[in-house]
Structure 1
Amino acid sequence: MNDGYFMPLLGLGTSAPKLVKSEVEKAVMRAIDVGYRHIDSAYIYQNEEEIGRAIQIKLADGTMKRGDLFLTTKTLNYEKAGLEQMDSNVNSVFFPVLPGEDPIPEDTHGNITFDTVDLFITWEALEKCKDAGLTKSIGVSNFNHKQLEKNLNKLGLKYKPVCNQVECHPYLNQSKLLEFCKSKDILLIAYAPLGSDLRKKWVKKENLVLLQDPVLNAIAEKHWQTPAQVALCYQLQQGVVALAKSFIEKRIKGNFQVFEFQLTPEDMECLDGLNRNIHYFDYGKFAHHPDYPFHEEY
Structure 2
Amino acid sequence: MSAARGTDSVRLDGKVAIVTGAGRGLGRAYAIAMAEAGAAVVVNDLDGETAESTAEEIRTAGGRAATVVAAVGTSKTAQELVDTAVNEFGRLDVLVANAGALRDRVLWKMSDEDFDLVISSHLRGAFTCGRAAAVTMREQKEGGRIILIGSPAGQFGSFGQTNYSAAKAGLVAMSRTWSLELARAEIAVNTVIPTALSPMTATIPAYAKVYEDYLRGEPIPVEYRRDHALGTPEDVAPLVVWLASDAAADVTGQALGLGGDRLTVYSHPDVLHTQNHDGGWSPALIDEAWHSGLDAHAQRSGPRGSEQDS
TM-score range, shorter chain: 0.3 to 0.5
| TM-score of the superposed pair, with normalisation by structure 1 | 0.38
Q: Which has the higher helix share?
A: 2
TM-score, length of structure 2 as denominator length: 0.37
State which structure, 1 or 2, has the greater radius of gyration over its C-alpha atoms: 2
Larger RCO: 1 or 2 (CA < 8 Å, sep 6+): 1
